[in-house]
């Protein structure tokens, strides 16, 4: 029968192996997700937000860039007067 110290050492080795395998598998899953998203032209916003993103592209001129300004006036943009989400 193994001693307590031997079992603790084995536990440490197993935990290290678990962390390494998990990191490897997660990297593979992330890569697979990214490939599928590129193949189906999906974004993190989802397919239902595609029209919104197309409109945002044409309004800002830069994909993903928003024209919001930081405001200290209760969430209202100084340049547009539009209430910004908090």
Tell me: pLDDT of 83 over 90.
Answer: no
Length of the chain as a residue count: 86
Give, as one character, the DSSP assignment of residue 62: S
Lowest mean pLDDT among 2-6, 51-55, 62-66, 72-76: 62-66
Give the confidence band of 68 by pLDDT, cuts at 50, 70, 90: very low
Q: Which residues pair with 76 in a beta bridge?
A: 83
Q: Rounded to whole angstroms, how far apart are CA atoms 49 and 72?
A: 29
Between 83 and 39, the higher pLDDT residue = 39
Q: Are 45 and 53 in contact (CB under 8 A)?
A: yes
Residue 62 token pair: 């830069």
Q: What is the pLDDT of residue 47?
A: 67
pLDDT tens readout for residues 5-44: 999 999 999 999 999 999 999 999 999 999 999 999 998 8
Residue 67 token pair: 């024209």
């Amino acid at each position: 029968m193994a001693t307590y110290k031997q079992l603790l050492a084995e536990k440490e080795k197993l935990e290290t192996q678990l962390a390494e395998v998990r990191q490897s598998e997660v990297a593979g899953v992330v890569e697979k997700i990214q490939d599928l998203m590129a193949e189906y032209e999906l974004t993190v916003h989802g397919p239902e937000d595609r029209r919104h993103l197309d409109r945002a592209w044409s309004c800002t001129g830069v994909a993903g860039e928003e024209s919001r300004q930081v405001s200290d006036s209760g969430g209202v943009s100084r340049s547009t007067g539009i209430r910004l989400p908090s």
